[in-house]
Chain A
Amino acid sequence: MEWDWNFVWEIMPTLIQGVKITILATVLGSILAAIVGLGIALARRSENRIVARSVGWFAEFIRGTPLLVQLYFIFYVLPDIGILLPPLVAGVIGLGLHYGTYTAEVYRAGIDNVPRGQWEAAKACNLGGRHTWTHIILPQAIPPMIPALANYFIAMFKETPLLSAITVLELMNQAKSVANTYYRYIEPMTLVGAFFLVISLCSVVLLRWLEHRYGRIER
């Protein structure tokens, strides 16, 4: 078992195809998770008890079951009731929903941390519900959440290999198919690890910058 650089260059284009899909799935999944998370966090605070309870129960259900099981469900079971999603879409929905329930908790913590006085001040200024949220609460709640949200996005990025189970040709699947063809694991798997590491480190830098830029709030 020797490291073969020629082989590395030969398989590089295939793996880069996989990297593109991995990044695409992560970005789309993150956006969905951010939206779903906010939706869940807001719905759980709803004054309508039925909405708050049922959304809360739904979120606990998703949070308490493995992502892989959910992916299988979305991909293989939903077609039985007529919902046929392409693999990547199914994967993004799976990632987005699953991580949405995690980010919902981050949002909840962020919103709970906005001082009570702010709510009272908004009320005193006669601001409506929508204005209170969009102009007073969320602008103060979101910046401190950025590091915690970033954590989940990196975690999600590293969970994209699970999508190979539902035939998405992302990085891990491409590497496996390369290994299947050439009977060699050492180069493809090492490269997969290296790609993930490099992209994670880059995104850490990017997220630090985001935190720096938007993370500070004046009180």
Chain B
Amino acid sequence: MKKLGILAGVAGLAITAMLLAPGARSADDAKLEQLKQQGFARVAIANEPPYTAVAADGKVSGAAPDVAREIFKRLGVNDIVASISEYGAMIPGLQAGRFDVVTAGLFMKPERCAAVAYSEPVLCDAEAMLVKKGNPKGFKSYEDIAKDSSATVGAPGGGTEEKLALNAGVPRDRVIVVPDGQSGLKMVQDGRIDAYSLPVLSINDLVKKANDPNLEVIAPVQGAPVYCDGAAFKKGDEALRDAYDVELAKMKKSGEFAKIIEPYGFSAKAAMSTTREKLCAAK
């Protein structure tokens, strides 16, 4: 069955590619038209508040989808429909045409910029680590975890934190792939992992909800840069991306952008003080 699925997927892709192939430009404009006609855009989210959140009643919120919803409305697309995905599966899913755009706090990094077409920056955040109270192993940076040969760190699979930890020299078997925030929190509480790493605002949100006095947040992690995400479009959908950027710029200027993201704790100034070009070139 798996094989059949792959075959069917490949066949489907081939057909889509054939349909899209002639004249990439006209296909681009067609993309927005198509979204307008169907009345919604499909977005990928991660359910990691405050970036993206799904309420108990299924309503999608969080800073990234809220910005996307507003911009799509201005572009004439009435609503967004979100599907929850792992970070690592977002870009392949985008390339496979499962979503129209990723709005999930997928931070801009050169290798991701090479794989997708990012909008201008939307949400910026530094990295943090969740540890037991008193930080028993004295972590300040990912390098500290690499140095302690018994230390383990949890991170979302395919997330920025996983790569930062691996790049800092933590061996693969000590970087534990944690499926979601709640599991990561539990694993720190149970002592399965020594630290759980996520962006600052996500960790803060998690700790606030857990309300456990035996936990401590280390923020920001030393040596880890401040990253910004953007809405990620499929390569080839640049025209849609450009239209998105125009509306985003207008909202940043009018202050409506700040009005959406600042209640979630994000700084609009941080997103406005940098550009996609800078972030994609950064090491």
Interface residues of A (CB under 8 A from B): 1, 14, 76, 79, 84, 87, 165, 167, 169, 173, 176-177, 179-181, 183-186, 189-190, 193
- Minimum CB–CB distance from B111 to chain A (whole Å) comes to 8
User: Beyond A79-B186, A176-B86: 20 further Cβ-contacts under 8 Å?
Assistant: A1-B10, A1-B95, A14-B172, A76-B183, A79-B189, A79-B190, A84-B190, A167-B177, A167-B178, A167-B179, A167-B187, A169-B172, A177-B88, A177-B162, A177-B177, A179-B92, A180-B87, A181-B163, A183-B88, A183-B91
- Minimum CB–CB distance from A6 to chain B (whole Å) comes to 17
- Minimum CB–CB distance from B247 to chain A (whole Å) comes to 27
Task: Choose from B88, B179, B186 the contact partner of A181 (Cβ within 8 Å).
Answer: B88
Q: Is B92 a contact of A173 with CB atoms below 8 Å?
A: no
A181 to B86, CA, bound (A): 12
Closest-by-CB residue of B relative to A196 is B2
Given contacts A76-B186, A173-B177, A181-B158, contact A186 B89 (CB under 8 A): no
A14 to B171, CA, bound (A): 13
A47 to B208, CA, bound (A): 55
Given contacts A181-B88, A183-B92, A193-B3, contact A176 B13 (CB under 8 A): no
Please provide the 6 A-B residue pairs with the shortest distance between their CB atoms, ordered closest to farther.
A180-B88, A180-B158, A79-B190, A183-B91, A185-B92, A180-B157
Count of A-B residue pairs with CB < 8 Å:
63
Q: Is A84 a contact of B89 with CB atoms below 8 Å?
A: no
Interface residues of B in 59-114 (CB under 8 A from A): 86-89, 91-92, 95-96
Question: How many B residues touch A, CB cutoff 8 Å?
Answer: 31
Contact of B270 with A by CB under 8 A = no
Given contacts A167-B176, A173-B177, contact A179 B89 (CB under 8 A): yes
Contact of B115 with A by CB under 8 A = yes
Chain A positions within 8 Å of B86 at CB level: 176, 180
Closest-by-CB residue of B relative to A185 is B92
Interface residues of B (CB under 8 A from A): 2-3, 6, 10, 13, 86-89, 91-92, 95-96, 115, 157-158, 162-163, 172-173, 176-179, 183, 186-187, 189-192
A159 to B4, CA, bound (A): 19
Given contacts A183-B95, A183-B115, A193-B2, contact A176 B190 (CB under 8 A): no
A93 to B280, CA, bound (A): 46
A87 to B152, CA, bound (A): 13
- Minimum CB–CB distance from B49 to chain A (whole Å) comes to 20
Q: Is B6 a contact of A190 with CB atoms below 8 Å?
A: yes
Task: Choose from B87, B96, B158, B179 the contact partner of A165 (Cβ within 8 Å).
Answer: B179
A1 to B97, CA, bound (A): 12
- List, sorted by A's number, 16 A–B pairs whose CB atoms are closer than 8 Å: A1-B13, A76-B183, A87-B192, A165-B179, A167-B176, A176-B86, A176-B177, A177-B162, A179-B89, A180-B88, A180-B89, A183-B88, A184-B92, A185-B96, A186-B10, A189-B2
